[in-house]
Structure 1
Amino acid sequence: MMNYNERYIELNGLFRQGVDCHLEETGIDIRFFRFHSLSSNERGGTLYCADSNISENFSFEYPVFTPSGKPKQEEAILLLHGLNERNWNKYLPWAEFLCLHTGKPVILFPIAFHINRAPATWSNPRNLVNVLNFRKEKYIDDCSISYANIALSDRISQSPERFYLSGRQTWADLTVLIEEIKTGRHPLFKEGAKIDIFAYSIGAFLSQVALMANQKGLFSDSRLFMFCGGSIFRSMFGISRNIMDKPAFEKMQQYYIHVFGNEAGSVWERDNAFNAFLQMITPERFRSEREKFFTRFRERIRGIALANDFVIPYHGVQEALGRKNTESTIQLLDFPFQYTHENPFPHNAKDTTSVNNAFTNVFSRAVEFLI
């Protein structure tokens, strides 16, 4: 069995953003591909004006874990990450395991303004100290404020619309990527390649919206495996020193639950993506339409929720999918060690055997479904 802690350290020692490499131990290549995001006009939506100047968000490289020496592939797994991620560190063992045991390339695609789609200054404490001090003075005794979440928290506080706009830009980017793959224009894949999804946390929410919208029918044959994801928006609890501080989270919840979609005039383009997003906000609204979709989709969705996940709770998944659909598609697990939503497999835990077993259990189930 793989030693998760050791492999995590090894992979993070080998991985360099933008630098292709070969993993001798598993016979996997990590290859990088350049992507150019569509402009606001091309994708039918606008960004918060200040964000249009963030060049990193529009031109970037994404890594693909792919079996070495194989010709063009007929299938792929798209791996989507969580909110407020600044690097691929924890996802490297995930991608390697999925690639090794399914034999399929695994595409790690960054959400807009995350990982290498964000300026380096957003991760540098020296650049963030003034914003951090301002926020701490404004919200005295709020222990949820941290260097790790200050950039996202400040941005959401300024404009909660950014959450939707970032998701919408990513959805448009994925549409372009999948079209490129399915038409045979991507160097790794044959024309008509089938694309499944492994989605974690907010990546699962994005996947649910994408599958419901099903732009150009591109997701008509896709399967989705969700890990620590799948909740209705209202039941997500994003207050964390690693995700978002309390004032920002409360402002975002207030906006999407009470304002979004109720604005006067034509603020948003009300297309399939907008409607799908709207259906995933609160459990009461559009319950019938939402649950009918997940009932139809039931054979193509599986997932794992964790008992001590307070960010994406199991009851929130039930509210999104419906109780019956959740019971038939989502397994609720618990681990015999301390873990969090943000760190389900602590690589520095003393009980390495239990962490190894938990990791292997989760990802073996994902492989079984996605193979």
Structure 2
Amino acid sequence: MMNYYDRYITLNHCFTQGANLHIAETNIDVRFFRFNSELDNWQDEILKSDNNIGENFSFEYPVFLPTGKVKQENAILLLHGLNERNWNKYLPWAEYICYHTGKPVILFPIAFHINRSPQAWSNPRSLTDLLNFRRRQYGDDRSVSLANVALSDRISQNPERFYLSGRQTWADLTTLFGEIKSGRHPLFKEGCQIDIFAYSIGAFLSQIALMANEQDFFTNSRLFMFCGGSIFRSMQGISRSIMDKAAFNRLQDYYVYHFGNEPESRWKHDNAFKAFFRMILPGRLREEREDFFSRIHNRITGVALEKDNVIPYHGVREALGNETTEATISLLDFPFEYTHENPFPLQTKDQRSLNNAFTGIFSRVVSFFA
């Protein structure tokens, strides 16, 4: 059995964004590829200031792949959670999946996250004034923190950014899938099968991508959701690691009561919009949404955690429907303290239980994709 603590420390010690790497212990290479994200003209008029963030439009993403293999027939896309500023916790996840399936794992950053965001958004010195401002503004709100202040301020100013970020990422994934499936990507054969491992908000994005199914690229993709899959209304994003209370309340208010009720000229009412719209409220277009997940139930599975307060199990039921959830999603618990944001805490004294928990979850992932 792998030692999760050791793999986490080792991988984070040797991993550097943009620097190709060979991991001798598992005979895995990490290679980086450049991606250029295109801006839709209609988006240009909504939040022009964000169009000047160059990191979001030209960036590199890492791929874990078995050493020596060329032109692969399979790929697994790994999507992360909200407000992530680095790949740290995902490195042992990607290594385990790659090593045990023999398939490349693509770590693709969501728009304005990881290395698609300015370094200032994660630099304490740059954020001090903004942090103090929000603390003065919201007084006793203990959810205000250095870790979440950049995202919280952006969402408070313009909650539309949540949809626009997801929409840009969806468009990027469509481009990436097209590049891979056409054989234009240097790692993959034409017609490559692409599956998805998605955590937290990455699962929500994946559900929408499968539902919208742009250019039929997602028709055969399998999806494993870890701590994800909830209807939007039941997500509880107030966290010192995600966003503060004021930002989350602003986000919920906009999407529950205003989004979709605006003039049609406000947004493109295409498949991506319609899929997102179905995923906001449990009662909205419920039959249509649950029928979709029922039809693809053999292509989705996942694990929810008992003490996950951010993406609760009842929210997954509301999204998928009771029958599909019971058939596809396992509700598990760990014998140590954990959170949604940190399901495998390194400081856990019971390292055996930590290793068992990690291996138990990711052996399910491997079995599903293998």
On whether the aligned pair clears a TM of 0.5, the verdict is yes
CA distance in 2, matches of 1:264, 1:77: 38
1:13 corresponds to which letter in structure 2?
H
Q: Deviations over 1:47-80 (max 9, x none)?
A: 5111000000000000000000012100000000
Q: Name the SS for the 2:88 alignment partner.
A: coil
* 1:8 corresponding residue in structure 2: 8
Question: What are the within-5 Å matches in structure 2 for residues 246-325 of structure 1?
Answer: 246-325=245-324
Q: TM-score, normalised by structure 1?
A: 0.99
Q: Name the SS for the 1:176 alignment partner.
A: helix
Shift of 1:264: 2.7
CA distance in 2, matches of 1:318, 1:292: 13
Shift of 1:348: 2.2
1:370 corresponds to which letter in structure 2?
F
1:19 corresponds to which letter in structure 2?
A
CA distance in 1, matches of 2:276, 2:39: 21
CA distance in 2, matches of 1:286, 1:190: 38
2:291 corresponds to which letter in structure 1?
K
1:45 and 1:269 in contact (8 A); partners too? no
Q: Deviations over 1:230-256 (max 9, x none)?
A: 000000000000000000000000000
* 1:123 corresponding residue in structure 2: 122
Q: Name the SS for the 1:222 alignment partner.
A: coil
CA distance in 2, matches of 1:132, 1:57: 23
1:66 corresponds to which letter in structure 2?
L
* 1:152 corresponding residue in structure 2: 151
Shift of 1:117: 0.1
* 2:226 corresponding residue in structure 1: 227
2:196 corresponds to which letter in structure 1?
I
CA distance in 2, matches of 1:169, 1:264: 21
Shift of 1:188: 0.3
Q: Name the SS for the 2:76 alignment partner.
A: strand
Q: Name the SS for the 1:25 alignment partner.
A: coil
Shift of 1:265: 4.4
CA RMSD in angstroms comes to: 0.7
2:40 corresponds to which letter in structure 1?
S
CA distance in 1, matches of 2:346, 2:169: 29
Q: Name the SS for the 1:242 alignment partner.
A: coil
Shift of 1:39: 1.9
* 2:142 corresponding residue in structure 1: 143
Quote the sequence identity (%): 69
1:166 corresponds to which letter in structure 2?
S
CA distance in 2, matches of 1:14, 1:132: 32
Q: Name the SS for the 1:13 alignment partner.
A: helix
Q: Which runs of 5+ in 1 are unaligned?
A: none
- The reply on whether 1:182 has 2:185 as its aligned counterpart is no
* 1:27 corresponding residue in structure 2: 27
* Mean CA deviation greater in 88-97 or 347-356: 347-356
* 1:62 corresponding residue in structure 2: 61
Number of residue pairs aligned between Structure 1 and Structure 2? 369
CA distance in 1, matches of 2:3, 2:78: 22
- The reply on whether 1:18 has 2:55 as its aligned counterpart is no
Q: Name the SS for the 2:125 alignment partner.
A: helix
CA distance in 2, matches of 1:264, 1:217: 29
1:27 corresponds to which letter in structure 2?
N
Q: Which runs of 5+ in 2 are unaligned?
A: none
Q: Deviations over 1:59-113 (max 9, x none)?
A: 0000000000012100000000000000000000000000001000000000000
CA distance in 1, matches of 2:287, 2:263: 26
Question: What are the within-5 Å matches in structure 2 for residues 67-146 of structure 1?
Answer: 67-146=66-145
CA distance in 2, matches of 1:168, 1:281: 15
Q: Deviations over 1:248-288 (max 9, x none)?
A: 00000000000000013410000000000000000000100
* 2:38 corresponding residue in structure 1: 38
CA distance in 2, matches of 1:245, 1:48: 22
Q: Name the SS for the 1:194 alignment partner.
A: strand
Q: TM-score, normalised by structure 2?
A: 0.99
Q: Name the SS for the 2:265 alignment partner.
A: coil
* 1:164 corresponding residue in structure 2: 163
Q: Name the SS for the 1:253 alignment partner.
A: helix
